[in-house]
Structure 1
C-alpha cells in the first residue's frame, strides 16, 4: 500500500509537468497558428472597455489616461469604470474626467463578478473588453484583441498579461512563471482548439455570448470556458499586451491572495462540475483536470509520497527512491526555513524562491481545503 502511495502521486506529477505539456506541444506542431487580416476603422466592432476598480485612487488616473491613448477609433469605444465598494477618492477622480467616453458606475461591495454582470446588462457594444486598474495596455492592445472576432467561431479572446519582474527573487519567480511557462500553455492550447480561460486584466468576449455568473465564481476563467462549452473558441492573442509590475509584496499578504484564488477556483469547479464529463466535453475536461485541477492539488501530490517514504523508512523497508525523495524534500524544507529567516529583509538566491514556493504550496492546500469545507468568497479585494 505504501509503495502505491509513493509512486502514484509522483507519476501524476510527471504527467502534469512533463507529459501534459509535451502532448500539447506535439498537438500544436500539427496545426498552424491562425492569421487575421488587418481591419480598417469602418470594419472594427464597437467596444465597451470595462475597468474593474476597488480603492484605486493611486493609479486610476494613470489607467484612464492610458486607456484614452489606445489606438482605436474614438467613436467606437467607451470606457466604463466599475467602482465596487470604493471608500477612497477613486470615484471622485473618475468623475472629474470630462471626456464623454469615460463613464462611472458605482456599486456597493457586491463582488467583481456581480458588478460586471450588472454593468453588462446596459451595454450594447459588440465586444466587451475586461481590464483591471493596475494593468496599463500597449497602444494597440484593444485592436489586437478584436481581430480574431473576424472568425465567427471565436467567442472570446485572451490577451497577453506580462509581468515586469524586478531583481528580487520573488518577483523574478512569479514573472518567469507567467511570462514563460503559462505563455507556452496558452499558446499551445489556443492552437490546438482553444485557450483555457483568460487573465482578468485583459480578455474580450462577444456581447451576445456573455453569460451572467454567480457572484462567487471566477469570471475571467469560467466566462471563456462556458463560452467554449457552447461550441465557440477562445483564442490567445500574444500581440494583445498589458503590463503589471511583479512587485515584492509582503509574503503573508501574497499567501492570503493565492489562497483566495485557489479557493474560488476550486469552488467554481465544484459548481460547474458537469463540465468535467469526458463524454460530453472531452477536450475541456482534459484541459481543466491537467492544467488547473492537478496544479491546485500539487501540494498533496508532494506530501503523500513524503509521508509514504517516511513510513517505509521507519519500518526499515525504505529503498533508494524513497530515501532520495525524503532527502530532497528535507533539503527543500530546510532551504525554505532559511529563506523564511532571511527573506523578510533581503532576497537570497535559492533560499528565497524555496520559501516563496513552499508558501504558495501551503496557500494552494489551504485554498483547496477551505473550498471543499464549504466557505464562500464573493467580495473582491484589490488586485495588489
Structure 2
C-alpha cells in the first residue's frame, strides 16, 4: 500500500512539473527547422489593438505609435474602443494622424473588436497588440525580415515585463513569463509555437480566420497559421513591453478568465487540432492540456501525501494534515518571502483549474477590464 501510494505521489509531482521542466528538455531533442530570414524584405502592415478604459495608458501608447510611424510611415494603425467609460476614445480621436478608431457603442468584447478591425485592415501582415503594450522601435523592421520565408504564416514576438519588483505577485509573474518565453523559443526552433500571447504577434492577413466572439482570439488567430500548413514562429528580436499586474486578487481573476476562454477555445478548435502533425499534437498536449489540469494533480498530490504520511505513522499523518491546513489558511495571506512565492505558484495553478472547470460547465468570458494594479 505504501509503495502504491508513493508511486501515485511521484506521478502527481511529475505531471505538475512536466510542462515547465520535463517538456523543455524533450524539445531540445527534437530536430531543428531553420528559417530563411531576409533583413531587406518589406511588405505592408496593419497594427491593431482593442481598448477598454485604458485612458491612463493612452498617452504612452500614442507616443509609441508616433515613434513607430516615424520609422515605418506606411504603417496602418486601427483601434477598437469597447465602450470605454473614461477618455480612452477621446484621446485616440484626437490623433487621427496616427490611429483610425472604431467605436463599438457598448461592451462587445475583444474578439468582436478584432474581427471588425481585421475586416478593415489593408496590410499584408496584421500585427496584434494590446492597448497597454509598447513596441520596441525596431520591432516592425525586424518582423518584416521573418516574413521573407513564404512558409512563415505568423510571428510571435518577445514580451518583456516591467515592474517585476513591485510585489511578489509581479515577481513570480515575471519569472513565469521568462520561462514561458524560453519554452516558446524551443518550440519555434523545432517547427511551430502552440499559440500566441495577445501582447505581440502577427499573421498574414489572408490567413485570418472566422470565429465566434466567445473564444480566445489570440489563440484562435495565431493557430490559423499552423492549421493552414504554415509556420508559427517565436522570435527574439520583435520586442514588446508590458507592466505586470501587482495585486494578487487581480492576477488570480485574470488567470481564471484566461483559462476559461482558452479551454472554451480548445473545444471549438478540436476538429482542426486533430488534423495537426503528430509533433504539433505532442506540443499542444504538453504545453496546453497538461498545464490546464496541473491544479487538479497538485490537489490530488497533496491529498496523497497526507495519506502516505498516515500510512507511515498516524503521528506523521496528523502533522501532515496540520501543515496542509495551515498552508491553506495562511498561505494566501503571506505577501513577501519564499512562502509568498510558493503561494503565488499554487494559486496560479488553482486559478487555471477553476477557469477550465468553468469552461467545462459552459461558462466563458467575452468582455474584460484592465487591471488597476499594473
Q: TM-score, normalising length from structure 1?
A: 0.87
> 1:103 corresponds to which residue?
100
Question: Matched residue of 2:37: which SS?
Answer: coil
| Match runs of 1:16-35 below 5 Å | 16-27=19-30, 30-31=31-32, 34=35
Maintained 8 Å contact 1:71/1:140 = no
The structure-2 alpha-carbon separation of the partners of 1:146 and 1:333, relative to structure 1 and needing over 3 Å to count, comes to: farther
User: Aligned pair in 2 of structure 1 residues 74, 281: CA closer, same or farther (>3 Å)?
Assistant: closer
CA distance in 1, matches of 2:276, 2:197: 26
The answer to whether 1:172 aligns with 2:171 is yes
> Which structure 2 segments of 5+ residues have no match?
none
Q: Structure 1 16/254 Cα, relative in aligned 2: closer, same or farther at 3 Å?
A: closer
Distance of aligned partners of 1:334 and 1:58 in 2 relative to their CA distance in 1, 3 Å threshold: same
User: What 5-or-longer segments of structure 1 have no aligned partner?
Assistant: none
Question: Cα deviations across residues 191-233 of structure 1 (Å, max 9, x unaligned)?
Answer: 1001121110111111111112211111112212132021011
CA positional deviation for 1:259: 0.5
Aligned residue number for residue 228 of structure 1: 226
In structure 2, what is the equivalent of residue 36 of structure 1?
37
CA deviation profile, 1:125-176 (whole Å, cap 9, x unmatched): 1111111111111111122222211111111100101112225322111111
The 1-side partners of 2:355 and 2:61 are apart by: 31
DSSP 3-state at the match of 1:56: coil
Please tell me whether the aligned partners of residues 207 and 224 of structure 2 are also in contact (alpha carbons under 8 angstroms).
no
Partner SS, residue 49 of structure 1: strand
Of 340, 343, 356, the match for 1:352:
340
Q: 1:32 to 1:126 in 2, by over 3 A?
A: closer
May I ask how many residue pairs the two structures share in their alignment? 364
| Matches for 1:1-384 after TM superposition, within 5 Å | 3=5, 5-13=8-16, 15-27=18-30, 30-31=31-32, 34=35, 36-39=37-40, 43-70=41-68, 74-99=72-97, 101-107=98-104, 108-164=106-162, 165-179=164-178, 181-249=179-247, 251-277=248-274, 280-314=276-310, 316=311, 318=312, 334=326, 337-343=329-335, 348-382=336-370
Please give the alpha-carbon distance, in whole angstroms, between the structure 1 residues aligned to 2:291 and 2:325: 20
SS class of match (1:162): strand
Alpha carbons of structure 1 residues 151 and 362: separation in structure 2 relative to 1, 3 Å: same
Contact 1:155 1:206 in 2 (8 A): yes
Deviation readout 1:330-381 (Å, 9 max, x if unpaired) = 75774564443342xxxx2112212222322221121121111111222232
1:252 shift after superposition? 1.7
Q: Displacement, 1:280?
A: 4.8
Say if 1:158 and 1:198, in contact at 8 Å, map to a contact too: yes
Please provide the CA RMSD for this pair: 2.6
Counterpart contact for 2:158–2:234, Cα < 8 Å: yes
Return the alpha-carbon distance in structure 2 between the equivalents of residues 32 and 152 of structure 1: 14
**Contact map agreement 2:77 2:99 (CA 8 A) in 1:** yes
CA distance in structure 2 between the partners assigned to 1:77 and 1:302 by the alignment? 47
Question: Residue 49 of structure 2: SS of its match in structure 1?
Answer: strand
TM-superposed CA distance for 1:382, in Å, is 2.4
